[in-house]
């Protein structure tokens, strides 16, 4: 059975106090509303990670994740945060290759391979993002484009390594725009991604990998997206900043 994951990407939002309130509300609601079958991952900015981890406490299905990590293990890289540092205080997940990092920080497929390897070596679970721009979608080449992102960044991993990676399919034209891919468009791409993984690693491995959808997911459209057979959860931006919305998305499973 694939893991069902609802991950919140806070991006560069929330003061320290706001982050603590949001975390406490989410943990409390998850407990009160007996949200047990879904894994919740909170991905706040770096300075929040430690306190978010503390506030999660013993909640067995809530985890903390980072939004990025360095492609290097340690050393003189001012301003960077390595995967081993994150792992050393209990961070469990790390988002790698978000389209905003690819675009604004010029992260290449090659660099992302190194980040994924660092994360895996440190025992973190990478949430690897892929997705096409509007131009590519309109040209009808979204499927080969996304497959190429996966091949180029991930296909040198072993079967054991890739089994520890969660994929997030995030069409760039749907991120933060309010424009969601239809459930059919999401299913079509998720199935194509799974088939591509099966072509390289075999059906058993491909069937074990969770593929999340990201792009303006909210309580009103989550149920339809999450009902699709190859959609195993969501990576949520805007709606993860409101505890009620985040929990309602998870509950719509
Ligand atoms: C994201 O940034 O990963 C994302 C999906 O954002 P939003 O939900 O706001 O579209």
Entry pTM:
0.97
Measured distance CA(85)–CA(118) in Å, rounded: 11
C-alpha 213 to ligand 1 mean position (Å):
9
Domain boundaries, the chain: 5-251
Distance CA 158, CA 53 (A): 30
Question: Does 48 participate in catalysis according to the annotation?
Answer: no
Instruction: State which ligand 1 atom lies nearest to the alpha carbon of 239.
Output: 8
> Residue 213: what pLDDT?
98
Kindly list the distances between the CA atom of residue 113 and the CA atoms of 15, 151, 175, in Å, as whole numbers in the listed order. 31, 10, 23
**233 neighbors 8 (Cβ within 8 angstroms):** no
The domain made up of 5-251 has a fold known as TIM Barrel (3.20.20)
| Per-residue confidence (pLDDT) for residue 12, from 0 to 100 | 98
Given this model, what pLDDT does residue 142 score? Answer: 97
Question: Tens-of-pLDDT digits for all 253 residues of the chain?
Answer: 899 999 999 999 999 999 999 999 999 999 999 998 999 999 999 999 999 999 999 998 999 999 999 999 999 999 999 999 999 999 999 999 999 999 999 999 999 999 999 999 999 999 999 999 999 999 999 999 999 999 999 999 999 999 999 999 999 999 988 888 999 999 999 999 999 999 999 999 999 999 999 999 999 999 999 999 999 999 999 999 999 999 999 999 8
**pLDDT (0 to 100) of residue 183:** 97
pLDDT at 1: 81
pLDDT of residue 178: 85
Best residue among 11, 226, 237 to mutate for probing ligand 1's pocket (most ligand atoms within 8 Å of CB) is 237
| C-alpha–C-alpha distance, residues 67 and 62, integer Å | 16
Report the C-alpha gap between 229 and 187 in whole angstroms: 7
Any idea what DSSP says for residue 234? Answer: E
- The binding site for substrate consists of 9-11, 176, 216, 237-238
Q: What whole-number distance in Å separates Cα of residue 86 and Cα of residue 196?
A: 31
Burial 181-206 (b: 16+ CB within 10 A, else e): bebebbbbbbebbbebbeeebeeeeb
């Amino acid at each position: 059975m694939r893991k069902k994951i609802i991950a919140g990407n806070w991006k560069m939002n929330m003061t320290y106090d706001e982050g603590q309130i949001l975390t406490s509300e989410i943990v409390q609601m998850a407990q009160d509303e007996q949200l047990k079958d879904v894994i919740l991952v909170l991905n706040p900015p770096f300075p929040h990670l430690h306190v978010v981890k503390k506030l999660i406490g013993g909640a067995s299905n809530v985890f903390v994740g980072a939004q990025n990590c360095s492609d290097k293990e340690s050393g003189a890289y001012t301003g960077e945060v390595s995967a081993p540092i994150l792992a050393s205080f209990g961070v469990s997940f790390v988002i790698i290759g978000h389209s905003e990092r690819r675009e604004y920080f010029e992260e290449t497929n090659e660099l992302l391979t190194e980040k994924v390897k660092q994360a895996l070596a440190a025992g973190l679970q990478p949430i690897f993002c892929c997705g096409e721009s509007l131009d590519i979608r309109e040209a009808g080449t979204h499927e080969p484009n996304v497959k190429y992102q996966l091949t180029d960044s991930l296909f040198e991993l072993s079967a054991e390594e890739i089994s520890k990676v969660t994929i997030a399919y995030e069409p760039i034209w749907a991120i933060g725009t309010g424009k969601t891919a239809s459930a059919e468009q999401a299913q079509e791409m998720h199935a194509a991604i799974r088939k591509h993984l099966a072509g390289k690693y075999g059906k058993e491995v491909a069937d074990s990998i969770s593929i999340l959808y990201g792009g303006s997911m909210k309580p009103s459209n989550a149920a339809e997206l999450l009902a699709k057979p190859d959609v195993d959860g969501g990576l949520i931006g805007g709606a993860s900043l409101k505890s009620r919305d985040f929990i309602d998305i998870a509950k719509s499973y």
